[in-house]
Amino acid sequence: MLRILFICYGNICRSTMAQSVLAFMVRKRDLREFFQIDSAATHRDEIGNPPHRGTLQKLREVHIPSVPHRARLLTRADGESFDYIIGMDAGNLRDMRRILGDCRAELALLLDYTDRPRDIADPWFTGNFDETYDDIVCGLNGFLEYLREKGEIPHA
């Protein structure tokens, strides 16, 4: 089983959206047995809070159920228990490396798995949950293809 952890600053917008969308994608592709999916924050600002209302609204709009979630903080132990820890922007990646130190997990940004690696803008500041959703879907499709190419999940 692959253990995937998505990371953003507060764990209420981008990382929770990625968590819910990947859970939906693997369920639709009958790949649930291959994944355990979670998300966490690099900062304490939102710990214990549910996903942002903009994230929940966007998920409802595209008919994707939100996974039950309360924001939690990334811990050093996560680096040993997850296989992939995936951030949304360069600041997340810096914070992930600071918190995790040397770890066994593969660290990356979500859009690194696409042909257009870049940051996913934080909708907390932009207000654009549509763009965030589009970037997340693109990144997740690239990530699933990466896992297929590595032989970690079956080809559909």
Give me the residue spans of the domains in the chain. 2-149
> Which residues face 3 on adjacent strands?
36
CATH of the structural domain 2-149, one choice from 2.40.110.10, 1.10.3720.10, 3.40.50.2300, 3.40.50.700: 3.40.50.2300
Two tokens, residue 21 = 């969308």
CA distance 7 to 16: 8
Mean pLDDT of 23-50: 96
- pLDDT given at position 155: 78
Active-site residue numbers?
A: 8, 14, 122
Mean pLDDT of 111-125: 97
132 against 155, higher pLDDT: 132
- Amino acid at position 45, single letter: D
- Answer yes or no: is pLDDT of 156 > 80: no
CA distance 67 to 83: 20
Mean pLDDT of 128-140: 98
pTM score of the predicted model: 0.97
> Which residues face 36 on adjacent strands?
3
Longest CA span, the chain: 40
